[in-house]
Amino acid sequence: MQKKASDYLNLLFDIGELADLVTGSSDLESFLELVVDRVARHFNAPVCSIYLYNEKSNRLTLKATKGLKPEAVNKIHMKPGEGLVGRSFETLSIVREGNAGKNPGYKYFKEAGEEPFNSFLCVPIKRGVEKIGVLVVQHRDLNHFEMSDERAIWTVVNQLAGAIENARLLIAFSQAGEDSEVTESLVFVKGSAAAAGYALGKAVVLNEQQKSILYDPVPGEDQFTKQDFSLAIEKTTLELKDLQKRFEQKLPESASLIFTAHFMILKDKNFIGKMGDLIDEGLSPADAVRKIAAKYMGIFSASPHAYMREKAQDVEDLSVRILNNFRSREEKTDYENGSIAIARQVFPSDILKYVSAGVQGIILASGGVTSHVTILARSLQIPLIIAEESGLLDLPVNTTILMDGDLGNIYINPKKETIALFETKARVEKEAHVVSMEKTTWTKDRKRVILLANINLLSEVPLAKVLKAEGIGLYRTEFPFLIRSTFPSEAEQYVIYKKLFDGMKNCPISIRTLDAGGEKTLAYSDSPKETNPELGLRSIRFSLKHRDIFEFQIRAMLRAAAGKKEIRIIFPLISSIDEFLEAKQVVYDCMEALSREDLEFNRDVALGMMVELPSVLATIDEFAKEADFFSIGTNDFIQYLLAADRSNKMVADHYIPCHPAVNRGIARIAEAAIAGGIEISVCGEMAHEKEYIPFLLGVGIHTLSVDPQFLPMVQKTVMNLSMADAVEYAKRMLAETTVKGARSVLEAFK
C-alpha cells in the first residue's frame, strides 16, 4: 500500500516521547534498547540497530538491536569504510539498498542472523562535526524503503543524536580500563614513514592530555594565591623569551617574535587584569585563568575570519602555560629534551616548538599530515611517523619508544639488543654519508652532472655544504610565512635571504617566490575557503593577486642579493606566457623603485620558472625565449598531467612517474631548453629516485636538485651510470605508448 506523506508525521518523536526514552531507562544499555525498539515501531520495521564509534579502537560496534540476535551485541565490529555501515559512517551519507545482500560492499556477519532481511536503510549519527555512530533499519521485503523514509529517518536521528552522543561518551569512559589493558600490550606498531631518521626517547602524549589542565582542576590548586598567579605570569614570560631564543638558534627564519600574539595577550589589561580582578573577588587563581581564557577563546573561535579563529589557539597555548607555571618544574608533564612526542594532530608551529624543546621524534596517531609538515620535519631532521593506532595516545608517560623513521616502524619498550642494532645502523649511515661524497660528479663515461640541494630552512645549509652540494637548486620561501601570525615584512625577509646568500658564497642559488595556497594555507591571509584549493588561488596566482606582498618579497630578494653572483629567482606554477611576463614585470618595477630609493640591489638576477603545469607544454619553445632557466617540479607536473593526487590513497596508483605522457612531457621540456640555450634542472622527487635518474640524464637534463640527505645516494647512482646507456634507455622509454610497456623497460634497466 502506498504511504501518504502525512503518515511521516507519526515517525517524528515529540518532546514527551524523547523525555520518556531518557528518563524511562535504568541504564545506558537499556536506553539504547528503548531507542531501537521505538524507532523500529515508528518505521514498522522488524529490525533496528545502533552502532557506536570508539575513537581509541577506531571501530564501530553493534551496541543495541531489535530484530537481530541479541548475542551479536558488542561482538560485531567494523572499521570506518567497512561494509555498508562503515561506508555510511565514513562518508556521512545515507545508504539505502533494496537488496543489501547483493551489494558487493555488504559485510556479512553470521552471528547477527540478518539473512532474512533484504531492504536496508542506514543513516550516520552525528552532532556538529562529531561522528557518533550509525542507525540502521531493515525489512524482509525487497525495495521496501523509499526516499521519504530517508528524510524521515534523518529527522529522527537528528532528534536523538544528542542523547546517543552522551551515552556513547559514558560507555567509552566506563571501558577506559579495558582499553588501557589493550594499550599495555602494544609492543610494535607499523606506521608510514613521513620523515626519515632514528629516534629513541620517552613517550609524551600531547594535545588533549596537555590541554586538560585548562578544563579540569588539579590536586592542590585551591592553595594557590594571587602571588602564585603573579609568579606564574612572570615564569610564562621568561619561558616564552627562552623558547624564542631557541627558535632563533634552530630556525633563523624566525627572526621576528613567533610569540608576538602571546606577548601581546600578556600585556592586555583586559586579559591578565581581569584574572587579577576575579582573584580579588574570591575566585581561585587557576579558575580565574580558566574563566578569562574561555571567554577569549569563545570570542576568537566565533569569528568568521580564519586568522582570528587561529588566535583562539594562541590563547589556549598561553593559558595552559600559565596554569602549568603555578606548579614547580618537577611537577610539570610538558615535553622535554630527548622525548618522543605523540600527538593526534600536528601543525608546523607544533613541530617548531617540539624541536626547540629538544624532542627527538614525532608520532602522529589517528590523523593525516600535510606535505609542508613533512617537509619541515625532514628539514629539521626530526623523524616523523604516521600511525593508524589510537592506542599510542594512551601510552603511559615515560614509556620508552624507538622510532625507525626510514621504515615507519615503532617499537614500544624495545629490548636492549634492538636498541643496540639501531644505534649501530644510525652511526654507520651517518659516517657513510659524510665520507662517500665527492666534490664533483661524473658518469662512468666522464660526462658532467651537477648536483644541487633543495633547501627548506637555513639550518639545512651547513649539511648541504658538508655534503658538497654545488649550489642551491631550490630554496622554498614559504616557511617564514607559515610560522608567523602575519605576513613577514620586507626587512624580516631580507635578513633571511641574506643569510642564505652569505651561507653559500660563490655558488649558484635559485630562490622560489612564495608557493602559498593549496594545502599550504596561510590562515592570516583570510582568503575564502576553496572547494578545490589545488586548482585555486595558489603560488604565482596568489602573489600576483596580492601584489604588495609579492613586491615586499621581490625587493627583499634583490636587496639581499646585492654584490652576489649567480642568483636566480623562480616563479612557481606558471600557466601562461602572459603570467610569466607579468611576474617578470614586477621584478623590473621593484628594481626601478629600489633605484629611485638609492638602495643597493642586484640588477643581474636570472628569472626562471617552475615547469609544473601541462598547459605550458604547447608553448614551451616560446617560454624558452622568455625564461633564463627551467626547473621541473615533477611532483606537481605528474599530479596535474595525470589528474592524480598521490596523497589520496584511492587514486595513488594512478600517480605514475613512468607514464608515457610524463616521459614525453619531460623530454619535450628538455628539448626546448637545450634548443633555446637555457639551463634546465629537475627539483622534484624524481631527481632522487634511483629508477628515474637514468631517464632524466638520457633526455638531456644534467642538473639535479635534491634534499641534502639524498645527495650521497644520487651521486653514487650517477657515477655508476654511463651517459651513453642512459641516452639509449631514454629512447626506449619514449618509444613506449603504454604504462605496462614503460614499466617493463624500467624493470629491464634496473
Active site members: 372, 683
Instruction: Please list the residues that pair with 15 across neighbouring strands.
Output: none
Q: Are 389 and 186 spatial neighbours (Cβ–Cβ below 8 Å)?
A: yes
Cell digits for 686? 624524481
Instruction: Indicate the angle between helix axes 306-324 and 260-267, nearest 10 degrees.
Output: 70
Burial (CB count within 10 angstroms: exposed 0-12, middle 13-18, buried 19+), residue 643:
exposed
Give CA–CA dist 635/632, Å, rounded: 9
3-state secondary structure 339-374: EEEEECCCCHHHHHHHHHCCCCEEEEECCCCCHHHH
The angle subtended at Cα 498 by Cα 564 and Cα 450, nearest 5°, is 55
Closest CA to 402 of 392, 411, 394, 415: 411
Residue 74 CA to residue 503 CA, distance in Å, equals: 62
Residue 335 and residue 357 in contact, taking contact as beta carbons nearer than 8 Å = yes
- Phi, psi angle pair for 512, to nearest 5°: -90, 140
Q: How far apart are CA 65 and CA 294, in angstroms?
A: 40
Neighbour tally for 136: CB within 10 Å: 28
Distances (CA, A) of 415 to 200, 202, 428: 12, 14, 21
Q: Could you tell me which residues come within 8 angstroms of residue 1 by beta carbon, excluding any fewer than 6 positions away?
A: none
Amino acid residing at 373: V
For residue 19, give the 3-state DSSP assignment. helix
Q: Which residues have CB under 8 Å from 278's CB, separation 6+?
A: 287, 288, 291, 292
Strands (E), 284-359: 339-343
Distance CA 617, CA 610 (A): 12
Q: Are 457 and 479 in contact (CB under 8 A)?
A: yes
- Give me the sign of the Cα torsion angle 22, 26, 28, 34: negative
> Within 13 Å and on the Cβ side, how many CA atoms surround 106?
19
Give the integer Cα–Cα distance in Å for 366 and 90.
14
Task: Indicate the helix (H) or strand (E) that contains 736.
Answer: none
Q: DSSP character for 271? A: I
HSE-up (13 A, CA, CB side) for residue 271: 20
The span from the CA of 479 to the CA of 242, in Å, is 21
Q: How many CA atoms lie within 13 A of 616 on its CB side?
A: 34
* CB-based contacts of 681, cutoff 8 Å, min separation 6: 450, 452, 473, 629, 630, 631, 632, 687, 701, 703, 704, 705
User: What does the block give as the cell for 442?
Assistant: 661524473
Compute the half-sphere exposure of residue 503: CA atoms within 13 Å on the CB side of its CA.
22
Q: What's the DSSP call for residue 573? A: S
CA torsion through residues 340, 341, 346, 348, sign: negative
Q: Which residues contact 667 (CB under 8 A, 6 or more apart)?
A: 699, 730, 734
CB 318 within 8 A of CB 339: no
